[in-house]
Amino acid sequence: MAVIKIKVNGKEISREVSDSTLLSDFIRDNLLLTGTHIGCDTSQCGACVVHLNGKSVKSCTTLVADCNGDEITTIEGLSKNGKLHPMQESFKKHHGLQCGFCTPGMVMSAVDLLQKNKNPSEQEIRDWLEGNICRCTGYQGIVAAVKDAASKM
């Protein structure tokens, strides 16, 4: 067990955690932020992507004990003052989601892409999102949404 101090969605949090607790479980079960989803057990699906110190990570393969002093943003922390982030707006506009289960991870991953590459080509978007599986949209609306968001951010 270890006591960690982290900042989640701008809020300082201090908790005692076990050495084996995954960041994804900690976010869902301890902080009750259930927007971060768990869709697989092999770190393949990407439904659990959050930002750790501004970069996208799969929270199901991150130990929370390793996150002491770190800053985490989950999907719940993306919109500010009730206003959707441009990426969220763009997903809505282009029907980039259906059942919504992969969406939080997909959006968090896409936001990080645009931090690294402000104007990605379609192929670059598709390659980047290779680690996020969506079963509903065929990725068409998602790719269109990321392109559109890039033009607005």
Partner 1 sequence: MANLVGARIERKEDKKFLTGKGRYTADINLSNQTYAYFVRSPHARAKITKVDHSKAKKAPGVVDVFTGDSVTKDKIGGLICGWKIVSQDGKDMKCPPHPVLAKDVVNFVGDHVAVVVAETLEQAKNAAELVNVSYKLLKPVIKTEKATSFENIHEGIDNNLSFDFILGDKGKTNEAFSKADKVVKLDLVNNRLIPNAMEPRAAIGDYNTSSDELTLYTASQNPHLDRLIMSAFNAVHPEHKFRIVSPDVGGGFGSKINVYAEDVVVAYASKKIGRPVKWVAERSESFMSDNHGRDHVTHAELALKSDGKIIGLKVDTIANLGAYSLVLAAVTPTYLYAPLVLGIYDIPAACCTVKGVYTNTAPTDAYRGAGRPEATYVIERIVTEAAKEIGMDQAEFRKKNFINKFPHQQCLVHNIDSGDYNAHLDKALELSDYKNFENRRSQSAKKGKLRGIGLSTYFEACGVAPSAVVMSIGAGVGLWESAEIRFNPTGNVSVFTGTHSHGQSHDTTFAQIVGDKLGVSIENIDIVHGDTDKGPFGMGTYGSRSLAVGGTAIVKACDKIIAKGKKVAAKMLEGKPEDIDFKGGEFILKNSNKKKTIGEIAFACYLPGTFGDVKSPLPEGVEPGLIETSFFDPSNFSFPSGSHICEVEVDEETGETKLVKYTVVDDFGTVINPLIVEGQVHGGVAQGVGQALYENAHYDESGQLTSASYMDYTMPRADNLPQITIDYTCTPATSNPLGAKGCGEAGTIAAPAAVMNAVIDAVGSDVSMPATAEKVWKVLKKNGSKKAAA
Interface with partner 1 by CB under 8 A: which residues?
28, 32-42, 44-45, 47, 74-76, 78-79, 84, 88, 91-93, 95, 97-104, 107, 122-123, 125-127, 129-130, 132-143
Shorter beta-carbon distance to partner 1: residue 7 or 133: 133
Shorter beta-carbon distance to partner 1: residue 68 or 140: 140
Minimum distance, C-beta of residue 60 to partner 1, in the bound complex (Å): 11
Minimum distance, C-beta of residue 59 to partner 1, in the bound complex (Å): 13
The torsion of the CA quartet 108, 109, 114, 117, rounded to 10 degrees, works out to 160
Shorter beta-carbon distance to partner 1: residue 6 or 141: 141
Minimum distance, C-beta of residue 49 to partner 1, in the bound complex (Å): 12
d(CA 18, CA 104): 26
